[in-house]
Amino acid sequence: MTRDALVPFVFEGAAVRGACVRMDDAARDALAAHDYPAPLARVLGELSAAAALLAASLKFRGSLFVQLAGSGPVRLAVVECDHALALRVTAQWDGNAVSGLPADASLADLAGGAADARLAITLDPVDGPLYQGIVALEAGSVAALLEHYLASSEQLESRLALASAGGRVGGLLVQRLPGARDEGALPWTEASQAMDRVTADALLGHDADVTGVLARTFAGRDLRVFAPRTPRFACRCSPARVEQALRIAGAVEVEAALAEAGKVEITCEYCGRRYTYTPAQARSLFEAVPPTAPA
């Protein structure tokens, strides 16, 4: 039985909200397509928990991307989570360079230093324009970087705890709702102090289901806990999307691939699914589609 769940909650009578997530199976499945080295797998786990918590906190339909790009041991790391908490992950890295890093390497270490690396959060709503925010990539944990980003870019006071170890992934987010300054700061101060005490063990313990984590973290506080949601791995690749990409790449590109390999083979970077086209199948993508006869 899966332990995976994301549970939103509010403090009763106070302008504090949040969510707690455990996503061991979802992260394992999302990371299964590649043999990620340990420091990268840990960071991808933390980014996955963060992406699920952020996606769940937003009222939107579409995808949220957290993307690290740099010129260091890790050139690219992408976590995509949509409004239904469907998650997928990919990365590009230099195996030798990553193996020289400590297990607790920071995002900045992985990306080769803060100077020419960037962490972007992109919202791609199905019914609206793209929105992108850039997270300052200073020293510090993934959670600390995102807390700073939420406070400075989104004007949302937030506390975030993330943990990823031994195939287990968890996270806890609390946010102070805007416009609630006049009702007293005590609940927020209490929540923030409680977050100071959250450990990786508390988030990842074998007996740590999300409601138990909430009850222990905010003991004595009246919480309203909403129905659990289930994060899961799901790739959005499909034959139609691959064929569209080949059409965009163009007939010249496709002929070059056929000349080299005798076929066209595309591997999805997220899930590892392989799409193979014979010369006839590949060329048919560029044939004019005959008009459909009226029914």
Compare residues 29 and 46 and give the one whose CB is closer to Zn ion.
29
Minimum separation from the CB atom of position 64 to Zn ion (A): 18
**Cα-Cα-Cα-Cα dihedral sign, residues 262, 33, 26, 44:** negative
226 SS3 class: coil
Question: Do residues 88 and 152 lie in contact, with contact meaning Cβ atoms separated by under 8 Å?
Answer: no
Q: Which is nearer to Zn ion, 33 or 74 (CB)?
A: 33
Compare residues 51 and 235 and give the one whose CB is closer to Zn ion: 235
Quote the least distance from Cβ 233 to Zn ion, whole Å: 10
Residues 6+ apart with CB under 8 A from 190: 218, 221
Check if the beta carbon of residue 10 is closer than 8 Å to that of residue 17: yes
Choose between 28 and 216: whose C-beta lies nearer to Zn ion: 28
Minimum CB–partner distance for residue 192 and Zn ion (Å) = 39
By C-beta, is 91 or 105 nearer to Zn ion?
91
Task: Give least dist CB 66 to Zn ion, A.
Answer: 18
Residues 140, 107: Cα–Cα separation, whole Å: 8
Q: How far is the CB of 208 from Zn ion (least distance, A)?
A: 31
| Interface characters, 183-222, with Zn ion (x: CB under 5 A) | ----------------------------------------
245 or 256, CB closer to Zn ion?
245
Single-letter amino acid code for the residue at 61: R
DSSP string, 88-110: EEEEEE-HHHHHTS-TT--HHHH
- Alpha helices per DSSP H over the chain: 24-30, 38-57, 95-99, 107-111, 142-153, 186-196, 200-204, 210-217, 239-249, 251-261, 279-284
* Length of the chain in terms of residues written: 295
- In the DSSP assignment, the letter for residue 295 is -
Nearer CB in complex with Zn ion: 161/264: 264
Cα of 98 vs its chain's centroid, Å: 21
Within 14-53, the residues that bind Zn ion by CB under 5 A are none
**By rule CB under 5 A, what count of residues binds Zn ion?**
6
Mark residues 154-173: x for contact with Zn ion by CB under 5 A, - for none: --------------------
Q: Give the SS3 label for residue 128.
A: coil
Fill in the amino acid letter for 186. L
Binders of Zn ion in range 261-290 (CB under 5 A)? 268, 270-271, 273
Shortest Å distance, C-beta 235 to Zn ion: 3
CB of 211 to Zn ion, least distance (A): 33
Nearer to Zn ion, 36 or 270 (CB): 270
Q: How far is the CB of 89 from Zn ion (least distance, A)?
A: 11
Q: Which of residues 220-249 bind Zn ion (CB under 5 A)?
A: 235, 237
- Which residues contact Zn ion by CB under 5 A? 235, 237, 268, 270-271, 273
